[in-house]
Amino acid sequence: MSVAKEFEAANANYVASFTKGDLQLPPQRKVAVVACMDARLDPARALGLEEGDAHVIRNAGGRVSDALRSVIISQQLLGTREIVIVHHTNCGMLTFTEDVIRDKIRTDLHQNADHIAFLSFRDLEQSVRDDIQILKDSPLVLDVPITGYVYEVETGKIVQVGENQ
């Protein structure tokens, strides 16, 4: 059975007890979370989010340079006024370099992916600081509070990186 079919079965249970049908489009808590796609991180459970609370933008590494389109839409059209970044320990992005994945794609897929910045990193805390700075430096992003965290996959805990910006 495909995982999609399993999702449909699980969704039937969700629908049976669903009570959130009248939520508004703009996020109620006016915050956008930018987090890694990692399977072990559930931003809603780890941060106490209910349906309707927050935009949750996720990609490999939780990198903001790959989230700018979404952040701009979140702020300009849907009124969010705070950003929270969540990277995490044992991230896959720490395990490879741009050359490693480009070489793998060349070997396995016979394709050239040299035009893609895969945004891997070597220093986890620095990756959070870098991403805060990218948002601060972007003229397309509003001057709003930005807080960066490292999520510990071993403990479930979020640990702030640097001071509040």
- In whole angstroms, the minimum distance from the beta carbon of 123 to its own copies comes to 18
Indicate which single residue of 44, 99, 114, 123 sits in contact with its own copies (rule: CB under 8 A).
44
Residue type, 29: R
Q: Are 124 and 130 in contact (CB under 8 A)?
A: no
Is there binding between residue 116 and its own copies (CB under 8 A)?
yes
Indicate which single residue of 64, 87, 118, 131 sits in contact with its own copies (rule: CB under 8 A).
118
Burial class of residue 60 (count of CB atoms within 10 Å of its CB; 0-12, 13-18, 19+):
middle
Indicate which single residue of 98, 117, 122, 131 sits in contact with its own copies (rule: CB under 8 A).
117
Kindly give the pairing relationship between strand 31-36 and strand 158-161.
unpaired
Is there binding between residue 1 and its own copies (CB under 8 A)?
no
Indicate which single residue of 72, 124, 125, 133 sits in contact with its own copies (rule: CB under 8 A).
72
> Total number of residues binding its own copies (CB under 8 A)?
87
- In whole angstroms, the minimum distance from the beta carbon of 134 to its own copies comes to 15
- In whole angstroms, the minimum distance from the beta carbon of 77 to its own copies comes to 6
55 assigned ligand-binding residue? no
Is there binding between residue 124 and its own copies (CB under 8 A)?
no
Give the residues across from 150 on adjacent strands: 87, 159
Nearer to its own copies, 133 or 165 (CB): 165
